[in-house]
Structure 1
Amino acid sequence: MSFGDPNPNNPYGQQPGQPPQGQPGYGYPQQAPQGVPQQGYGYPSAPPVSGGDYGQPQGARPPLAGWGSRFVALLVDGIVIGVPYGLLIGIGGAMGGNAGGLLAFLGLIVGIGLGLFKLYKEGTTGQWIGKKALGISLLREADGRPLGFGMAFVRYIAHFLDSLACYIGWLWPLWDDKNQTFADKICSTVVVKAG
């Protein structure tokens, strides 16, 4: 028995590799002395997510955009992409020959490029020309942040479902409580009025 050993029944004293007597080892935490708050487990919790870039109180979401503003924004974006594409394709087709074919191919490249740029801007900022002009934004429903390029692309592909059955998915926001199309529901997105 060693001098000062808190356990006099242990003839060998403190065993190596064991925590000293009186200190808790691994496992469930011991009750903290009264007046001392108990510490949490693992990493400290992350700060709460704010209401986005809108200066709203935490948890508040900007008001949802109406069907009319969404429709006009879609028309504006369609014109911005469709006019250069259509002009180059049309002029190229009218010219004929190699030069006309090259111009038509350029129109195709311009149309694809503008479409991809639209997806990039909507994915990173929530807006492109039409939505920006009408003061609306496309955001993730869960946290009110832009959805990213990949999900913007998936949402674009999901609009195929909006067009099935007589375009009923495009009209769905007229009676949906969150003003969502089928693509919005699939991708968990909402279109809101930008502050």
Structure 2
Amino acid sequence: MSDQGTGRDAFGNPLPPPPPAPGYGTGPVPPGAYGPAGGPAPVTPTPVMPSGLPGDGPEPLQLAGWWSRAFAAIVDGFVVVMLAVVLFIPLGAIGVTVDTEGGFFALVLAFFVLILVVGLAALVYQPLMLWRTDGRTVGKYAAGIRVVKRDRSRLDLGTAVVREVVLKSLVVGAVASFTFGIAYLADWLWPLFDEQNRALHDFIVDTRVVRA
């Protein structure tokens, strides 16, 4: 038994305050405000660059997702191949017009040189574009993303060369040759598991890919 008038129960202990009437003094409850079992609804935060870094603004930059990075890489690969093909169309035409065995060997040579130039074009295209266009390439323009340093400053040419040539092409490429391509796959998929969406080559030069 209890004595509601005095606010104490039959043993003299204070009673807990009654719960507020539904809809009184609490305001409307927005849809989705409560999750399972009446608890708060889970919120999935948008990945952002860490705060408290030199150059941080009042609002953190949003990190680019894996799909946007993959789309940019595909577009850039297409651009590099097309540039190389355009450069070597005259050489291929010369091989076709020759009716001797020299024409066949010219075509074979042109094929291997084309492969070499595709690689060289990629090595030159990526660093120069990232340096001259504030961390963007054609693919990154299309995907709406760009590469920045951890302090939000733009990439210098040295950092762009180390990131694209030394790390992505030479280091990852060398390791991939001994691991049957697993190194390329690991570098490609690593942003899916890193809390700051970094690929393996981003760790060394301390870069981030953000939404532009």
**TM-score, with structure 2 as normaliser:** 0.54
Look up the SS of the partner of 2:208 in the other structure.
Answer: strand
| 8 Å contact from structure 1 (residues 172, 181) kept in 2 | yes
Change (3 A) 1:132 1:109: same
Matched, 1:121 2:132: no
Where 2:125 maps in the other structure, the secondary structure is: helix
2:162 pairs with 1:161:
no
TM-score normalised per structure 1: 0.58
State the alpha-carbon separation in 2 of the partners of residues 176 and 77 from structure 1: 23
Residues in 2 aligned to 1:99 and 1:127: alpha-carbon distance in whole angstroms: 37
Q: How much has 1:99 moved relative to structure 2?
A: 7.0
1:35-74 residue pairs with structure 2 within 5 A? 50-51=55-56, 56-57=57-58, 60-74=59-73
Alignment of 1:93-104 (within 5 A): 95=96, 96=103
* Distance (whole Å) between structure 2 residues aligned to residue 178 and residue 172 of structure 1: 10
Instruction: Work out the CA distance in 1 between the residues paired with 2:63 and 2:142.
Output: 16
CA distance in 1, matches of 2:60, 2:167: 24
Tell me the distance in 2 between the aligned counterparts of 1:94 and 1:136: 41
The unaligned stretches of length 5 or more in structure 2 are: 1-52, 97-102
Runs of 4+ in 1 over 6 A off after TM superposition: none
The C-alpha deviation readout for 1:7-29, integer Å capped at 9, x for no partner, is: xxxxxxxxxxxxxxxxxxxxxxx
Q: Which position in structure 2 is the counterpart of 1:131?
A: 140
Q: 2:69, 2:140 within 8 Å by CA — same for their partners in 1?
A: yes
- Over 3 Å counting, the alpha-carbon distance change for 1:179 and 1:92 in structure 2 is farther
- Partner of 2:146, secondary structure, is strand
| Aligned residue pairs, count | 140
Query: SS of the residue aligned with 1:81?
Result: helix
8 A Cα contact 2:95 2:106, kept in partner: no
User: 3-state DSSP class of the match of 2:147?
Assistant: strand
Shift in Å, 1:83: 2.4
Which residue in 1 is equivalent to 2:210?
Answer: 192
Change (3 A) 1:183 1:113: same
What amino acid does structure 2 have at the position aligned with 1:189?
T
